[in-house]
Every structure is written in C-alpha cells, then in structure tokens.
Amino acid sequence: MTRLILIAAICASACARPAAGTLRYKAQEPVWKVNDATTLEKRPEEREYLRTLYHVDGFFVRRLTRAMDFAPSGRALDVNSLDEVPDSTWFTNRIGVRDLTTDELRKGPNEKDSPFNHLPVKITGAKVGGTAIGFVAEDATGAKFLLKFDLPDVPEMETAAHVIGHRIVWASGYNVPEDHIGYLKRSDITVDPEAKLKDSFGKKTALTADRVDRALSMVFKTEDGRYRVLLSRFVPGRPIGPYAREGTRKDDPNDLIVHERRRSIRGQVPIFSWIHHNDLQEDNTLDTYIPVKLPNGEKDKNRGHVVHYLIDFGKSVGVMNNSNNWKTVGFTYRIDFAASLATFLTLGTWKRPWDRIEQPPYRGVAIFEADNFDPRRWKPNSIYFPYEDVDKFDGFWGAKIAMRFTREHLAAIIEEAQFTDPGARTYMLDTLIKRQRIVGRYWFQKVSPLDRFTVTGDQSGMRLCFDDLEYLYGFESGTPRYRVAAYDYAGKQIQSQPLVETSGGQACITSLPVGADRDGYTIVRIAAQRGDSARPPVRVHVARIAGGKLAVVGLRRE
C-alpha cells in the first residue's frame, strides 16, 4: 500500500502543471490580421451540397465515426497570442474592438445604393435551395439579388428576422451579403422573357409571368397591394459552394486550419443561441472566389482568393419554430434519439421544456422567448460538427461579443426590421436583452472572465489593469477578489498576492515586479475569486517589445 501511495504521489508530481505554465510567447505585438488571401493561380472547384447525403452523414454515419474517435478535437487554432481571433477572410473584429454607431448597425454591410432606389426589379430565375418562395432578380442597374417574401399567415416574420439576425451577425464580425428590406408593388416587378425555373432534377422550364403571379398569390401582401420583400445582393466574386463543416477545402492553399478547430466557427454558438439562429448547415454558408484586378481594370478569372460568408438568417429569432411548426427547435436536433427515448421511457410524462412555450401575441414575432432558454441545452436544427467541439474558451469569446451589444444598439437593429406593431419592437428588444444576459452569465461562469488587459510601467515595477466582465455587466456584486502571483521567464515566483485596486468592473494590480531577464518577461497568474473558491486562472504574459515599452504579449486561460 505504501508503495502504491508513493507511486501515485510521484505521478501527481510529474503531471502537475507548473504555476507559471509551460507556454512562452515572443516579445512582440500580437497578430491582429492573418494573410490568408494570398493569390491562387487557379480557382478552386465548386463544392456541391447534397442535402439528403449531408443529413444522413450528420445524423448517422459521421456521428458514429466521431463517437469512436473518443478524444475531442482540441483547442481552437485560429487564435492569436491573446486567445483572440484575428481578422481574416473568415472574420473581422468589429463591435467592441471599434465603436459602432447606431447608424452603422442599421446599415450593416450595405455599402452600395439600395435596390429600392433602382426599380423595377426584373425576375431572371427562381431561387435554388431552401423551402421559401423566392426569385433571382436584377435591379435597374443590373445588380443581382435574391428576392424573398413573407407568408400570409405570418406577415413580417421572416423578413424582420432576417434583418435582425443579419445585422447582429455582421456586427459580430462575420461576412454577410448586403441585404435590404422594403415594399414593392406588382408594377415594380417585371419578368425576363428568358427567365428559367429549375426543378429538383435540374430540368429547366420557362418561368413565365403567370407562374410568378401564382407564386405571388401565396405570399404576404399589404392591404394597399404591396409586397414586403427582402432583397439580398449577390456576394462579390464567383460562388464556389458552401464550406465544409469539417476539414478544409483541399484546393485552397489558404485554407490551412480544419474548420472544426476554428474559433470563428465554434464561437458562433453563444451568439447564435442568443438570437436563436438554428438553421445552420452547410448550405447556409458560401465561399466565393474574388478575382485579381488587372492594371487595365479587368479581372483575371483564374487568379484570386476565397472569402467565406454566412447567408440566410430568415429562420432566426424563432422563425424556424414557426415555419416548421416545431416547438422543439433549439431544444432538440431535427432527429434526436435522446429526446425521443426520454419521452418513450417516461410514457409521455416527462415535462418537456418546449411544452411551456407559447406564441407571443405580436405581429411579426415568432416563437421567441427567454423564460425557457438554457444555453447549456441549446441545439441547432441539424448537427453541425464544429458546434459539438465548443469548449469554454470558445464560449467565453462568443459570449463577450454578444454582451457588447447595448440596448441602444439592439433597438437600432430592430428599428431596421420595420415591425408595424410597436409591441413587437418592445417585445423583441426585451427578449434579446434577457437572452443576452443568460448567455453572458452562463459562459462567464466557466472561466475567470477577465478581459482587455493593459500594462504600464518600467523596470522598477508595472501596473496591470483589466475588466472583470461579471462585475462590468452586473452579474456579480460586492468587492471583487483575486488570487494573484507573478513569475519570471523561468517560472520562478517573484511575488505573490500584490495589491489589487478595483472600481466599477475594472481592476488594477499595482507594484508588480518586472522579470530580470528576457526583455523583462513576466507572467502574472490571476484567478477570479468567487465565494469560497477560485475560478480557473488566466496567465498574462508581459514583456518589453520593440522600443522598450512593456506590453501584454500573450494570454492563456485554463
């Protein structure tokens, strides 16, 4: 027995993580922009989305093979030394990193003039994919759009949801198309004599004005005869299909990180659970090939680079629940064996959380509420593998972004959705705020939620300041407490529990010593104290960079 205890003690000692950690960073500014847009000499092949095979693979085949892998995929790889996602062809830091005005949030990515200023809209074909009625169209300038509508029994619902989801996702940092909401009369819509309709087998037939009118008879129209529509501008470049939920695009040398290990994808979970954007599968993503511009102004169709988009947000804020008449959306997958088994084994007596949900009594508002929302149990409609691999660090990153939207920001976005019922605007704003705080509270509790580290000082000592997000957003009250220790580059402790000053969600550690060598390299280990226990620590790495200035050069959370 003594020998076993001794062996266990030796193993524990050998496996113990050094208090200062094992990672060290270069004494340089963190990378905030990745060059993943180097010119390719050949356009990648178009990637095809096959809906049936996609779902069979997701719900059965790949789900089983993933389960046999046992080990999780690992931490996200598309992060810089501060554990943040730098700008790339996938993501651009926006809200919170720079100030976004309410006008910017209303406008979103829309840089070109509105198609409603260039009528008529000419239908050139039918929308491919999805279940909603829609057409391919051009405005009077020749710009191409997808033309989408609301259904008569749920007026304003899908177009409003799309605008809300679209603007939030754009402000969060993602590439999305330019989308506009407005009203068209029938006289504002023409049909190209060459317009074609393609069926599910790829057969093309003429898309006549009569067919268009039959389709328009099934969409929402106001009492004065106008159609409420969404016009989504085609993204720049040549579309080459959706990006894969796992792996990389093999013929794109810039696509180096497997998608299931991208925080820019995994970190969507807190944001999408907040806005109840469940319709995330490969066909709601799009890669486009941006050609190189030649000196004469023309474009080289072969040479260019790939940019990655998220598209189609019309099923967010609960619209998926209404359009499919499924209250289970957000609680279960489309095919969910665990939920089915629980209902069967309890002979239907299990009180399922979705049974308590009711339709809000406001025009244009779907089944969207906060009282039964639980981020731990939120699920997209279909299995999306990167979301299966989300860890607490991805969740913290996404929740930080979600919490940066102020009430004024969200009110501006909702105004752009053009609800005609004032009660709908109020309800949507209040519900988004409630769900936002549920998301923030849940994910912030999993880590030491310390952020925005800054350092000042010189060789004689430094001052390290940071935001404590639980106090900043009012999730905690009272006096914040922290466990703090400082170490040099070699991991030798040089100070323990220095003075900490706190005020209004910000804390500063003062009189910290600076490491004696390696550019003053110092590691500050901070664990947020909550009650009688400490959260997992965050290690902040400080060093002198070019010019001799002290700077935060790295950050590692546990």
Asked if residues 449 and 423 have their Cβ atoms less than 8 Å apart, the reply is no
Question: What is the predicted pLDDT for the residue at 165?
Answer: 98
- CATH assignment, 450-557: 2.60.40.10
Asked if residues 105 and 413 have their Cβ atoms less than 8 Å apart, the reply is yes
Phi and psi angles of residue 492, each rounded to the nearest 5 degrees, phi first: -80, 130
Question: What is the predicted pLDDT for the residue at 257?
Answer: 97
Higher-pLDDT residue of 5 and 361 is 361
Question: What is the predicted pLDDT for the residue at 540?
Answer: 98
Closest CA to 554 of 89, 23, 11, 16: 23
Higher-pLDDT residue of 470 and 296 is 470
Q: Which amino acid is at 211?
A: R
Largest interatomic CA distance in the chain:
91
| DSSP 3-state of 141 | coil
Question: What is the predicted pLDDT for the residue at 130?
Answer: 53
Q: Which two tokens stand for residue 374?
A: 């639980």
Boundaries of CATH 2.60.40.10 in the chain?
A: 450-557
Given a cut of 60, is residue 6 above it in pLDDT? no
Q: pLDDT digits over 205-247, tens only?
A: 899 999 999 999 999 999 999 999 999 999 999 999 999 999 9
Asked if residues 136 and 124 have their Cβ atoms less than 8 Å apart, the reply is yes
Closest CA to 187 of 230, 155, 224: 224
Q: How confident is the model at residue 114 (pLDDT cuts 50, 70, 90)?
A: very high
Q: Provide the whole-model pTM.
A: 0.93
Q: Which two tokens stand for residue 393?
A: 């660090």
Q: Which two tokens stand for residue 359?
A: 């339709």
Of 82-91, 203-212, 247-256, the poorest mean pLDDT is in: 203-212
Q: pLDDT digits over 276-330, tens only?
A: 999 888 999 999 999 998 888 888 888 999 999 999 999 999 998 887 777 888 8
Q: Which two tokens stand for residue 235?
A: 């993204």
Residue with tokens 């490491």: 515
Cis peptide before 120 (omega within 30 of 0): yes
What is the average per-residue pLDDT within 370-387? 92
| DSSP annotation string for 490-508 | T--EEEES--EEEETTEEE
Question: What is the predicted pLDDT for the residue at 483?
Answer: 95
User: How many of the other CB atoms lie within 10 Å of CB of 98?
Assistant: 8
End-to-end CA distance of the chain: 34
Q: Which two tokens stand for residue 204?
A: 């093309």
Residues across the chain: 558
Q: pLDDT digits over 141-181, tens only?
A: 999 999 999 999 999 999 999 999 999 999 999 999 999 99
The C-alpha atoms of residue 232 and residue 109 are separated, in whole angstroms, by: 11
Asked if residues 151 and 314 have their Cβ atoms less than 8 Å apart, the reply is no
Given a cut of 80, is residue 339 above it in pLDDT? no
